[in-house]
Amino acid sequence: MILVKLLVVPTFLLLISLAGRRWGPEVAGWLAGFPVLTGPILFLLALENGPGFAAAAATVSLSAVFGAVAYILTYARVCARRSPGLSLLSGLASWVCAALLLTSRPLALFVSLGIALLTLVLAPKLFPRVATPVLTAAVPRWELPLRMLAGAVLTLAVTAAAAAIGPSWSGMFAVFPVIAIVLSVFSHRTSGPAFAVILLKAMVRGLYASTSFCLTLAAVLPHHGVTVSFLAATAVAVVVQWALKSRLQRR
């Protein structure tokens, strides 16, 4: 499992960075919505703590989409006027506030689903307008390994925290915006705030895949085995992601 933590997220970050350079921020954001961190964390929780614990964590992860979007939206609105560092701190503050609110009391599955869907529907309307042309700057060679290293460090920290606490906070940390943090800060610095805003807005649309993954897992895991549940959740997420890709191509 340590190899998953050290390789999956950093490799995914590398692919997203290359995709953003080749096809632009919308494609990069679409890819970033896939549950590449959420899936391994919930799988680890299921193996170590049982299906019931993981199902409860997946229910919280469903509502935790609100926390991830709180970071994304805050960063997008602040980055046009402030530095990447201050934008990062503002986004993290929003995530902490959302996490404290969501974990203050248990949420039923349908309530968590309502929170996630309402968030994903409303959030795109709250992004700032990007009036300037968006130029994709070449990512320096030294920056790609740095992005991967940042992703590995954040992944190790988040998975360690998720394994040491109860299902509510485990579910929150499973959707902690590791990929959003790395991509927003580095894209802001390299390609400018307009590129970062478009990428983050596309990432919100991509989070429908993570939402469908967590919903399937929370519904199926209490009644079926770990393997069947995670295969079903992954299949649903892939279908949703490709449906989003078709919509992106039409746009």
Residues 56-82: tens digit of each pLDDT: 989 999 999 999 999 999 999 999 888
Residue 47's domain spans which residues?
2-250
Q: Which residue has the higher pLDDT, 94 or 139?
A: 94
Q: Which of 51, 69, 34, 29 is nearest to 236 (CA)?
A: 34
Contacts of 26 (CB under 8 A, 6+ apart): 198, 199, 202, 248
DSSP SS3 for 138: coil
In this predicted structure, what is the pLDDT of residue 48? Answer: 78
What is the distance between the alpha carbons of residues 244 and 209, in angstroms, rounded to a whole number? 9
**What's the total number of domains in the chain?**
1
pLDDT in tens, 102-155: 988 888 999 999 999 999 999 999 999 876 545 555 556 656 677 677 767 767
pLDDT at 251 over 80: no
Contacts of 211 (CB under 8 A, 6+ apart): 62, 65, 113, 116, 117, 120
pLDDT in tens, 206-234: 899 999 999 999 999 988 889 999 999 99
pLDDT at 38 over 80: yes
In this predicted structure, what is the pLDDT of residue 164? Answer: 67
Q: What is the pTM of this model?
A: 0.86
Do residues 109 and 219 touch, judged by C-beta distance below 8 A?
A: yes
In this predicted structure, what is the pLDDT of residue 207? Answer: 92
